[in-house]
Amino acid sequence: MVTPEGRPTGVHAACELARFRILVVGAGLIGTSIGLALRRRGADVLLADHNTQRVETAARRGAGRPWSPDEPGTGPQGTTASPQVDHVVLAVPPRQIGQVLLAWQRLLPNATFSDTASVKVQPLDDARRLGADLTSMCGAHPVAGGERSGPEAAAGDIFRGQPWVLTPLPTTSTLAREHARLVAVGCGASIVQLDPPTHDLALGLLSHLPHVIASAVAARLALVSEDVVKLAGPGLMDFTRIAGANADLWTDIVAANASPIAGLLTEVVADLVKVCDALGDAPSSAIGHPVVESLFRLGNTGRHRLESARPGQGLRATGTGLLPAQAEPPGPESTAAGVPIPVQPTARPLGADSVVVPEAVNTDLSMATQGHRQPGDTLTGGRVRTGGRNDP
């Protein structure tokens, strides 16, 4: 059951945010947009990404300042302890959540965490398997975005009035819930709470399934001549818009939510098979075939429900509410898993290639940090380079 939750008043949220230090890991469209929104409300925002150019772009646009491991800590009498961060938002793809969560928890043991991934069950399973502390983690998903990627496409108002789903576990701490809620309210979103499996089924229907189907239709356009494509009208442009999003990222999203999507695709395929059989069996002069008409009328009903539930949400809008909020593809440097890894100032040199990671992360998450570290390598949010496939 979807349960809309209350939200603090604007004055209360502004006061809280003015004392709030947040680290956004992943300076893509969503991460940068969160930074822009929270900076407008007075929060102190730090930015981390394995691609330093993205951090520089996001910072230049006013989304925050580059993360540094030398942030003032909370040690006695002004001594440096762990960098002082209240909350960390992981704006990385679903399959990276577990590794990135554990890495930053080891560097920031007093912080709380949330994410922006459009899949919840598998990332939780990954985090649990790796030994991450799930009590300090409140799952979250701002349901906004667009087919454009990167910090250049970010905007501080794309979350305004959009759903921001929170998926806390029974063991999630009260502080983690409140911090995740404060981020959502600070971005102007409307909070909804779901359990992780219900979230994944809902987003499978509302976001992942449409993307698969739009891509299947758009793929047909790659097989015809350009003269034919030029005949396309605005309806096809609207319908296939989401097919222009990053293919690597969406492969990860669909794989992470495979079971719900497979079930939904089975239902759609069954409908299409009925239409195909009906069209094949019908004489060319047949008019108003009941199977085809039934599908169109049921589609009319579904569209009307969508318009009633989300008034004013045109398909061309920047924040459509139909696209998952995820990080974007990275620059040329990443870990083997493509995750931004935190940096401790005590990292010691191991070799010629540059990978700077906390010692604990380098030991226990070797699959995410294959490579060597070089002295004096200054990172903005941690830069890791290996031969792995690039991902946000």
The CA dihedral of 261, 264, 270, 272, to the nearest 10 degrees, is -80
361-377 burial, b for 16+ CB within 10 Å, e for fewer?
bbebbeebbbbebeeee
How confident is residue 281, by pLDDT bands cut at 50, 70 and 90? confident
pLDDT at 83: 63
Pairing of strands 21-25, 44-48: parallel
Q: Is the pLDDT of residue 52 over 90?
A: yes
- Mean pLDDT to the nearest integer, 291-307: 92
CB-count exposure of residue 297 (10 Å: 0-12, 13-18, 19+): exposed
Tell which residue, 123, 71, 142, has the closest CA to residue 322: 142
Instruction: Give domain 200-309's CATH architecture.
Output: Orthogonal Bundle (1.10)
pLDDT of residue 263: 95
Position 245 scores a pLDDT of: 86
Going from the C-alpha of 158 to that of each of 9, 36, 212, 392, the distances in angstroms are 20, 10, 24, 20
In the prediction, which pLDDT does 131 show?
A: 97
pLDDT at 368 over 70: no
pLDDT of 51 above 80: yes
Q: Give the pLDDT mean for 243-268.
A: 92
pLDDT given at position 14: 61
Contact present, 35 and 65 (Cβ < 8 Å): no
* The total number of residues written for the chain in this structure: 392
Out of 91-105, 138-152, 233-247, 310-324, least confident range: 310-324
3-197 with 200-309: one CATH topology? Answer: no
Segment 105-140, tens digit of pLDDT = 999 999 999 999 999 999 999 999 999 999 999 999
- How confident is the model over 309-355, as pLDDT tens digits? 877 665 333 333 333 334 433 332 233 334 454 544 333 222 222 22
pLDDT confidence of 33, banded at 50, 70, 90? Answer: very high
Give the model's pLDDT for residue 13.
63
Whose CA is closest to 117, among 164, 64, 176?
A: 164
- Residue 73's pLDDT is 54
Task: Please report the pLDDT score of residue 321 as a whole number.
Answer: 35
The one-letter amino acid at 366 = S
Angle at 229 between CA 228 and CA 230, to 5 degrees: 90
Q: How far apart are CA 287 and CA 307, in angstroms?
A: 29
The whole-model pTM stands at: 0.72
Closest CA to 46 of 98, 94, 107: 107
Using CA atoms, how far apart are residues 70 and 344, in angstroms rounded to an integer?
Answer: 8
Asked if the model's pLDDT at residue 141 lies above 90, the reply is: yes
Half-sphere exposure of residue 199: CA atoms within 13 angstroms, side-chain side: 29
Rounded to whole angstroms, the Cα distance separating 117 from 126 reads 13
Provide the percentage of residues in the chain whose pLDDT is more than 90.
59
Q: Are 193 and 3 in contact (CB under 8 A)?
A: yes
pLDDT given at position 313: 65
Separation CA 27–CA 380 (nearest Å)? 11
Q: Report the CATH superfamily, name and number, of domain 3-197.
A: NAD(P)-binding Rossmann-like Domain (3.40.50.720)
Spans of all domains in the chain: 3-197, 200-309
Task: Provide the pLDDT for residue 388.
Answer: 32
Instruction: Place 226 in a pLDDT band, splitting at 50, 70 and 90.
Output: very high
Average pLDDT over residues 40-57: 94
